[in-house]
Structure 1
Amino acid sequence: MKKTLIQGATLVNEGKEWQADVLIEHDRIVKIDKHITPLNTHHIIDAHGLYLLPGMIDDQVHFREPGLTHKGSIASESRAAAAGGITSYMEMPNVNPATTTVAALEAKFDIAKQTSLANYSFYLGATESNIDEIKALDPAKHCGVKVFMGASTGDLLVEHPQVLDDIFSSSPALIVTHCESSPIIAENLSRLRQLKKEITISDHPVIRDERACYASSSYAVDLAKKYQSNLHVLHISTAKELELFSKGSVSGKNITSEACVHHLWFTEDDYNTKGNLIKCNPSVKSSADNAALFEALNDGRIDIIATDHAPHTLAEKQTDYLTSPAGLPLVESALLSLFDHVANNLMSLVQVVEKTAHNPAIRYKIDGRGFIREGYFADLVLVNPKGKTLSLHNNARYHCKWTPFDGHTFSAKIVGTWINGYQVFDGQNIVEHQAAAQRLAFNH
């Protein structure tokens, strides 16, 4: 691998923007300076007028392998992620069979080692009977344990109070939670069925409402406080839940929260045009909830922005509301959607980098990633802020071949992605490198 010199980029890193050159050698950043004299051994990238960011670290994706590869695979979705500027991801256990043993967890690492283009880690799924598997997790090797504290599929729903106490009191790894109350959801659906002949997508935020989210997330936070657990609450979607989290820097927090790009982009008004394409759990809710999420991003109550990328086939999505599965494919457009928010003055570019790269690296204690620093892995994304990107179903790189952003032109364009020093996306095409991806390591 040649040494790569990225010249004249505007670096966005650690709270500031400045112009500099970046020299990559093998898998690391070896020098950052205002001017680095190029050598004939350097592969030179002219990045004047472009932003250079640390690659996005997505702490929540569903890549559907094993068992659900008609929707997506580690190979297909990691390539879409790389094209979207995501250089590392952490993938969820609700595959088939569910990832509920350390042996099954390690089998997914083996698949990723062969097929992933982006750096990877995988969560163990909690059940009501696998506490010994949870206790066997190695926090230096495994990103965490996923607890579905609400409606789920298969045996991944955990509701028994004693089991939850056991998990929160004894997990050696970070606990991440999906928080929605199944009894409240069932109650809301039953009430609607008495009132209406037909339940439609517009009822989704009524069925999976603020009360269902808050009842579950407040329970998780109470457990974490009781047992001094390390808790990260995923995909916050309501203003009410934000009162559970503290403002300020992610450093030193035991309880943190995440917002997802679709809850920052869509509101319940979009169900009229998008229908089941934006059906997700937790549901997309009101414009007031959306505005509250941005306020919480600004004051630090929300620490991380992720995708919850969850592809389904278009045929599955085009069934009636109650049978249509929940989830959206998002990794290819996530970072671009945040650039639109910057253009609309809803957040700053420094905040985008903080929430998508720095904070995930800090919260998960990821070794050597999440920052543009000498000695760190060269996981980088180059963005043209004046480029345009038209998102269409037929140009989506996902295996499912559709996007919830169909027809939208983003204000920026990703023109390069580097993973461990390899350029894996050149702005138009995926560049295959078998050795590019690495298993994430954690400083525990």
Structure 2
Amino acid sequence: MDRLTSVPDLATPVPDLVVSGRRLVTPQGVRRGHLLISGGRITAITDTDTAPASAGRLDAGDHYVLPGLVDSHVHFRTPGLTHKEDWEHGSRAAVRGGVTTVMDMPNTVPPTLAPETLLAKARQVAGRSLVDMRFHIGLDPARPELLADLDASVATSAKVFMAGHHTAPTVVRDPAALEKAFAAAAEGGVQLVLHAEDDGLFALLDAWWGEPGSYLEYERRRPRTGGIVAVAKVVELVRRYGTRAHILHLSSAEEADLVCAAQAAGYPVTFEVTGHHLSFTDDDTRRLGARTRLSPSIRGRADQDRLWRALVDGQLTTLGSDHAPHTVAEKTGTVAGSPPGLPGVQELAVAVWTGMRRRRPDEDPDTAATRLARHLSQRPAELFRLPGKGRIAPGADADLVVFAPDTPWMLSAHDVESKCGWSAYEGWTFTGRVERTLRAGRTVWDAASGTFGAYDGRLLPAADPVDTTNGAAPAAGEG
């Protein structure tokens, strides 16, 4: 008798698609098998193809089949900033990188600080997206108490800017307002996501240094101390109120150690690392100038090594792109006026995969693939309560990525889907390529033909919490 991972009952619909492969990356590990798909969902995983001949077939062979990736940190710039990105271009970049679900940030024009503005953005995006989506609402510094009554059908997470930059108009500078936000979020069960740098510290340094004279001065004016001070404040507020807090784009070794210590003490605080901070160091800034200007800034080799250890040991919860495009003219303007941020949703998975294979060449690639799926699919879906996302399992959405793990290729400007038209990774030779991306069982990117699918991505409803740990980091050594 054929062994089944899930035995369909008599009510299981007839499959309309079978995806077969020898390297299906499931939460239980990498295995061979056949995914039976009906109505956009996985109904079963079988050892033999039991579907009728009328079902469509896709054979992934020796390529990995990953769950559709979840990028919980993008800026697709709609509304108000669509001269440098929009949902058509941003979602094309996403699916070429294997991303099928994104969570968009609120710092648009106007910023999405209230349910009505967030829902207006959702209406504007409808019919223009290749990916499914959820939106982080923005914290209104003047009304932090609103988080206590946030409608979970609108948003379950709120972005807090603790430091300002060119596209962050809603910075929480008042310590009392920040404390109110943590209290209200705890009361309302809202997940905070935080740009954790200390704005007052940066203002003090800016007043002392005066106008910068070169792009290389940026890191000195936005040093690691800004992040360390802010993360310490977050940890204390989490301790006081029990608020669920997720630190975005963590950039230094000290911050990583601090959050890991807080997790060990039982605090519900987690962190994200970006592909940019894993890929670039301050040596690249000397070469690329403003193209690698980020907030938080790119740090040194020792910090990069610590962030890689956080990934390998399973200490971080999510990998994110912080996809934040600007035009070339904006990035290469005056030294003081060059905004931080660069595109990255298209490059995220391949950059991280390439880094893992180069840093750990003797590691079983199945282990690396499982790690990638865990932190770029399963755990963000759990943390942000995204129904049907994050795993290859019966009942899950049929969001899948056919990934060729050993294919080398060089990124050129011609490959860039983002509307800004450039990438800091131009000229890089990656290992691993997304051959096909499926959302709800339908192809939305096919590398062989260079074609995209339907722009019918949906706004995801809220879901009940997966567990009570809120995505807290596992013990070291998980990865």
> Would the TM-score normalized by the shorter structure come out above 0.5?
yes
Counterpart mapping for 1:392-411 below 5 A: 392-411=412-431
Name the stretch that deviates more: 145-154 or 352-361. Answer: 145-154
Q: Given that residues 139 and 170 in structure 2 are in contact (C-alpha distance below 8 angstroms), is that contact kept between their aligned partners in structure 1?
A: yes
Residue 6 of structure 1 deviates from its aligned partner by 1.3
Residue of structure 2 equivalent to 1:416: 436
Q: CA deviation at 1:151?
A: 1.7
Shift of 1:289: 0.4
Aligned to 1:4: 17
- Aligned ranges 1:180-329 → 2 under 5 Å: 180-193=197-210, 199-246=213-260, 254-329=268-343
SS of the equivalent of 2:133 reads strand
**Of 368-377 and 133-142, the range deviating more from structure 2:** 133-142
What is the match of residue 192 of structure 2?
A: 175
Aligned to 2:163: 150
Structure 2 match to 1:49: 62
My pick for the range that moved more, 404-413 or 386-395, is: 386-395
Q: CA deviation at 1:214?
A: 0.7
Greater Cα shift, 222-231 or 146-155:
146-155
Asked if the contact 2:408–2:429 (Cα under 8 Å) also holds between the matched residues in 1, the reply is yes
Name the residue aligned to 1:382: 402
Which of 146, 159, 163 is equivalent to 2:177?
Answer: 163
Match for residue 435 of structure 1 among 456, 466, 471: 456
One-letter identity of the residue aligned with 2:215: I
SS of equivalent to 1:362? helix
Q: Indicate if the aligned counterparts of 2:206 and 2:221 stay in contact, CA closer than 8 A.
A: yes
> Hey, what's the Cα distance between the residues in 2 that align with 1:339 and 1:39?
36
Q: Within 1, Cα distance between the matches of 2:395 and 2:296?
A: 39
SS of the residue 2:126 aligns to: helix
Structure 2 gap ranges (5+):
1-13, 466-479
How far residue 353 of structure 1 moved from its aligned partner, in angstroms, is 1.1
Q: For the residues of structure 2 that align with 1:318 and 1:367, how far apart are their CA atoms?
A: 41
Number of the residue aligned with 2:85: 72
TM-score normalized with structure 1 length? 0.94
User: 1:24 aligned to 2:37?
Assistant: yes
Quick check: 1:87 aligned with 2:100? yes
Greater CA drift, 111-120 or 415-424: 111-120
Unaligned runs of 5+ in 1: none
**One-letter amino acid of the structure 2 residue matched with residue 181 of structure 1:** D
Shift of 1:395: 2.0
SS at match of 1:412: strand
Following TM superposition, by how much is the alpha carbon of 1:385 offset from its aligned partner in structure 2, in angstroms? 1.2
Q: Is the 8 A contact 1:54 1:371 kept in 2?
A: yes
Counterpart-to-counterpart distance in 2, 1:124 and 1:332: 24
User: In 2, Cα distance between the equivalents of 1:85 and 1:294?
Assistant: 21
Q: Tell me which moved more, 159-168 or 232-241.
A: 159-168
- The secondary structure found in structure 2 opposite 1:388 is strand
Go from structure 1 to structure 2 and tell me whether the alpha carbon gap of 1:198 and 1:260 turns closer, same or farther (over 3 Å shift).
closer
Q: Determine if contact 1:60/1:91 at 8 Å carries over to the other structure.
A: yes
Q: 1:249 to 1:133 in 2, by over 3 A?
A: closer
CA distance in 1, matches of 2:64, 2:216: 39
The match for 2:132 among 100, 104, 119 is 119
Task: Give the C-alpha shift of residue 154 in structure 1.
Answer: 5.9
Per-residue CA deviation, residues 6-38 of structure 1 (Å, 9 max, x unaligned), is 122401222521222112211101121222145
**Percent identity, aligned pairs only?**
29
Match of 1:372 in 2: 392
Figure out how many residues of one structure are paired with residues of the other and give that number: 440
Q: Do the aligned partners of residues 32 and 249 (structure 1) sit closer, same or farther apart at CA in structure 2, a change above 3 Å counting? A: farther
Q: Deviation of residue 220 (structure 1)?
A: 1.2
Q: For 2:257, give the aligned amino acid.
A: E
Name the CA distance, whole Å, in 1 between partners of 2:169 and 2:445. Answer: 38
Check 1:2–1:276 CA distance in 2 against 1; reply closer, same or farther (3 A cut).
farther
Tell me the C-alpha RMSD between the 2 structures. Answer: 2.2
Displacement after TM superposition at 1:198 (Å): 5.2
Q: Deviations over 1:48-71 (max 9, x none)?
A: 110001111111110000000001
When structure 1 is superposed on structure 2, of 288-297 and 105-114 the one drifting more is 105-114
User: What is the TM-score with the length of structure 2 in the denominator?
Assistant: 0.87
Structure 1 runs of 4+ with >6 Å offset: 247-250
Aligned pair in 2 of structure 1 residues 155, 330: CA closer, same or farther (>3 Å)?
closer
Contact 1:79 1:430 in 2 (8 A): no
**Which whole-Å CA distance do the structure 2 matches of 1:440 and 1:420 have between them?**
15
C-alpha separation in 2, matches of 1:371 and 1:249: 24
CA offsets 1:232-291 (integer angstroms, 9 cap, x no match)? 1100000011122237999x9621111000000000000122111111100000010000
What secondary structure does 2:161 align onto?
A: strand
* Conserved 8 A contact 1:268-1:284: yes
Distance 1:219 1:249 in 2: 15
Distance 1:231 1:109 in 2: 25
Is residue 36–residue 51 contact of structure 2 (8 Å, CA) maintained in 1?
A: no
One-letter amino acid of the structure 1 residue matched with residue 318 of structure 2: I
When structure 1 is superposed on structure 2, of 397-406 and 198-207 the one drifting more is 198-207
Q: Quick check: 2:115–2:154 contact (8 Å CA) kept in 1?
A: no
Q: Which amino acid aligns with 1:6?
A: V
Aligned equivalents of 1:306, 1:341: Cα separation in 2 = 15
| Displacement of 1:111 | 2.1
Aligned partner of residue 452 in structure 2, secondary structure: coil
- Amino acid of the residue matched to residue 111 of structure 2? A
Q: For 2:143 and 2:88, locate their aligned partners in 1 and report how far apart those are by CA, in whole Å.
A: 29
